[in-house]
Amino acid sequence: MSGSAKQVKQLDRVIIRFAGDSGDGMQLTGDRFTQETAAFGNDLVTLPNFPAEIRAPQGTLPGVSSFQVHFADHDILTAGDAPDVLVAMNPAALRANLGDLHKGATIIVDTHDFTARNLTKAGYQENPLEGDSLDAYALHTVDLTGMTIEAVKEFGLSRKDASRAKNMFALGLLSWMYGRPTDPTTSFLAKRFAKVPDIRDANVAAFKAGWNFGETTEAFAVQYEIKPAVMPPGTYRNITGNLALAYGLVAGSVQSGLPLFLGTYPITPASDILHELSKHKSFGVTTFQAEDEIAGVGAAIGASYAGHLGVTSTSGPGVALKSEAIGLAVMTELPLVVVDVQRGGPSTGLPTKTEQADLLQAMFGRNGEAPVPIVAPQSPGDCFAAAVEATRIAVTYRTPVLLLSDGYLANGSEPWRVPIVDELPVIDPDFATEKNHGSGDGAEFWPYLRDEATLARPWAIPGTPGLEHRIGGLEKGDGHGNISYDPANHDFMVRTRQAKVDRIADTIPLIEVDDPSGEAKVLVIGWGSTYGPIGAGVRRVRKAGYQVAQAHLRHLNPFPSNLGEVLKRYDKVLVPEMNLGQLSLLLRGKYLVDAVGYNHVRGLPLKATELAHAIGELVGQAEGIDIELGVWGEPTQKEHI
């Protein structure tokens, strides 16, 4: 299926959004297009966006599910602000997504579902395909469903089953338009539907029919070519954040020699971590689906006490339920990794949408002075390294660690250079095996006698003779660890637990600032998944000829030790976040810096264009000049649209 006589145009990047009803298979379609694109060698970033309802009422706006993929011949940082191409499988999908398109964008519509009833459901008074309301776009009306049914009729499927292959027809058409390899999808379909040959053959036939339609129809005159991106040498795969995070936990287990015990309760968008880890028992992984969030973390703490790597995975509401138990892990000083895949809040909030508003909960959401280290990945693939780092800190310092992913990282994907296992850090659990206080017959085991460098206490696991000891939530005396109500001891222990967390800064990298000219007056600093949009926004400002520095925090507690000095170097500090200013608050409080927030809580990643304008404005203020971002601040205009 190659060799087109049609005109071929070169593009450097494209953003495509597949949108349809939640039953239309748009996530699968997007995922397949992504795999083809990854195999082709483009850099890419994806943004799945789906409703919380498993099957929202068919044909309605709340039922619209979409998958956006941005791919390019160079390295890119975001899933893109505005799609260049929208594939809309029904009126609701068109209406729900049209507002995100810039003028001139290409729209491919499946006309089949544009019936009076569906138009009404989507809130259209008139058929938008018939008036002039879409004149500003390159509109292609295609009866995708009708052609699909025609293409698969030889397999004798019911009309309903036949029409379900329409997403593969759409995928075939788009695969042709952008010169994607088709083999990955045909072999995927063969495997997925191996047990139902009719369905398998129908899907393959629909996929091929879509490709052939693109090649033969006069409606699509141009095929586009986006060359493979130049990326550092290595083996790559496409990976989502949840998968990378699960692999990172397995790696943390292998590198520490501690069997992984996941105690958890299903919650969107973290459940896939449980699903994935449950497949890896051959690595000694035990997954325990508990009766609730509290039991999940309780069992993980018990497993840690017994000498395993205790992990619990959840989202913000689950962290709220687990907070007392996390405090127990702080007090008993046991290793524990708490994964929080953040979603929109408060309460049930926006379960399937992204947000990063749990930072202060992670930082302060416990009773008493209960410091917990915080690590945050910056991209889907980076979830792997962040999970290994969280494990290192938890085991080395005998402390719970909060690993703050989010819904965008969890479900979004990117090409990931597979790490070399030998280059991963080795984590030493350093179990206590000997009494550590006094000598001879008077020798004792003191569970709170600390390592001088890390302030970590000894980890003596049950089964170790002579080291029998009791720990618990009550305050313990320094060293011997017996219950103590002594005022001076409590003051000392509170300060010591804080000092232990502060000392982690000795073993984390200094924050690096990307300031090419060294002359920027404005620093943009973020954390977590905003790395992509911030990087893209900064690039646009620089391309327009202005100076701006960028830094990104992986460690939120403790901060890198040079952070204060870095912040003071700049006249202005901008902190973009998907919350109302939580990192800003921490930076202002700790470093007395006049940080300026850039905050959106729309359940979606920040938009690079808007961010570029916010950065530009601050650069203008700092330099005392007028800023003209021109085309670099606008959605990129493609020559073909």
184-213 positions binding other proteins, by CB under 8 A: 184
Nearest distance from residue 235's CB to other proteins, in Å?
5
Interacting span for other proteins (CB under 8 A) from 23-31, 48-56, 133-141, 274-282: 274-282
- The residues in 226-245 that bind other proteins, with binding defined as CB under 8 A, are 231-239
Judged by CB under 8 A, the residue of 9, 74, 470, 568 near other proteins is 470
- The residues in 409-438 that bind other proteins, with binding defined as CB under 8 A, are 418-422
Q: What is the DSSP letter of 422?
A: G
Nearest distance from residue 114's CB to other proteins, in Å?
36
- 545 CB contacts (<8 Å, ≥6 apart)? none
Judged by CB under 8 A, the residue of 348, 482, 507, 637 near other proteins is 482
Judged by CB under 8 A, the residue of 23, 146, 259, 564 near other proteins is 259
Residue 443 in the binding site for other proteins (CB under 8 A) = no
User: What angle (nearest 5°) sits at the alpha carbon of residue 392, between those of residues 388 and 395?
Assistant: 130
Per the CB < 8 A criterion, the answer to whether 341 and 481 are in contact is no
Nearest distance from residue 60's CB to other proteins, in Å?
35
Residue 485 in the binding site for other proteins (CB under 8 A) = no
> Which residue is it, tokens 């359940």?
603
Interacting span for other proteins (CB under 8 A) from 67-75, 143-151, 459-467, 588-596: 459-467
Residue 214 in the binding site for other proteins (CB under 8 A) = no
Number of residues that bind other proteins (CB under 8 A): 75
- 623 CB contacts (<8 Å, ≥6 apart)? 521, 546, 547
Which amino acid is residue 461, in one-letter code?
A: I
d(CA 609, CA 620): 16
Q: Per the structure block, which two tokens stand in for 314?
A: 């959840």
Residue 254 in the binding site for other proteins (CB under 8 A) = yes
Count of beta carbons in the 10 Å neighbourhood of residue 508: 18
C-beta of 302 vs 620, nearer to other proteins = 302
The sign of the torsion formed by the CA atoms of 609, 614, 615, 621 equals: positive
Residue 292 in the binding site for other proteins (CB under 8 A) = yes
Nearest distance from residue 177's CB to other proteins, in Å?
22
Residue 265 in the binding site for other proteins (CB under 8 A) = no
Residue 280 in the binding site for other proteins (CB under 8 A) = yes
Residue 442 in the binding site for other proteins (CB under 8 A) = no
The beta strands (E) that lie in 39-161 are given as 43-49, 64-72, 85-88, 106-110, 138-142
Judged by CB under 8 A, the residue of 132, 135, 291, 441 near other proteins is 291
Judged by CB under 8 A, the residue of 156, 257, 545, 630 near other proteins is 257
Residue 168 in the binding site for other proteins (CB under 8 A) = no
Per the CB < 8 A criterion, the answer to whether 511 and 563 are in contact is yes
Rg over alpha carbons for the chain, rounded to the nearest Å, is: 27
Residue 277 in the binding site for other proteins (CB under 8 A) = no
Count of beta carbons in the 10 Å neighbourhood of residue 555: 21
| Separation of CA 488 from chain center | 44
> Which residue is it, tokens 């002075």?
369
| Separation of CA 518 from chain center | 31
d(CA 312, CA 314): 7
C-beta of 71 vs 546, nearer to other proteins = 71
Of the candidates 311, 242, 310, the one whose C-alpha atom is nearest the C-alpha of residue 275 is 242
> Which residue is it, tokens 């001139």?
104
Residue 310 in the binding site for other proteins (CB under 8 A) = yes
Give the CA count within 13 Å in the CB-facing half-sphere of 469. Answer: 30
Judged by CB under 8 A, the residue of 23, 284, 425, 477 near other proteins is 284
Residue 294 in the binding site for other proteins (CB under 8 A) = yes
- The residues in 22-51 that bind other proteins, with binding defined as CB under 8 A, are 35, 38-39, 41
Judged by CB under 8 A, the residue of 155, 283, 364, 591 near other proteins is 283
Judged by CB under 8 A, the residue of 45, 300, 504, 622 near other proteins is 300
Do the bridges between strand 336-342 and strand 400-406 make them parallel or antiparallel, or are there none, so unpaired?
A: parallel
Nearest distance from residue 486's CB to other proteins, in Å?
15
Of the candidates 66, 90, 77, the one whose C-alpha atom is nearest the C-alpha of residue 16 is 66
Judged by CB under 8 A, the residue of 62, 123, 473, 509 near other proteins is 473
Residue 261 in the binding site for other proteins (CB under 8 A) = yes
Residue 336 in the binding site for other proteins (CB under 8 A) = no
Residue 464 in the binding site for other proteins (CB under 8 A) = yes
Residue 441 in the binding site for other proteins (CB under 8 A) = no
Q: What own/partner pairs with CB < 8 Å and gap ≥ 24 does 430-437 have?
A: 430/459, 431/307, 431/459, 431/460, 431/461, 431/464, 432/458, 432/459, 432/460, 432/464, 432/467, 433/460, 433/464, 433/467, 434/466, 435/466, 435/467, 437/479, 437/480
If DSSP codes are grouped into helix, strand and coil, which group holds residue 405? strand
Residue 179 in the binding site for other proteins (CB under 8 A) = no
Judged by CB under 8 A, the residue of 33, 176, 247, 397 near other proteins is 247
Q: Per the structure block, which two tokens stand in for 261?
A: 């015990």
Judged by CB under 8 A, the residue of 285, 319, 551, 575 near other proteins is 285
> Which residue is it, tokens 């601040």?
633
C-beta of 207 vs 384, nearer to other proteins = 384
C-beta of 90 vs 323, nearer to other proteins = 323
Judged by CB under 8 A, the residue of 25, 48, 210, 298 near other proteins is 298
Q: Per the structure block, which two tokens stand in for 508?
A: 């984390």
Judged by CB under 8 A, the residue of 306, 499, 510, 631 near other proteins is 306
Interacting span for other proteins (CB under 8 A) from 162-170, 172-180, 301-309, 389-397: 301-309
- The residues in 372-391 that bind other proteins, with binding defined as CB under 8 A, are 384
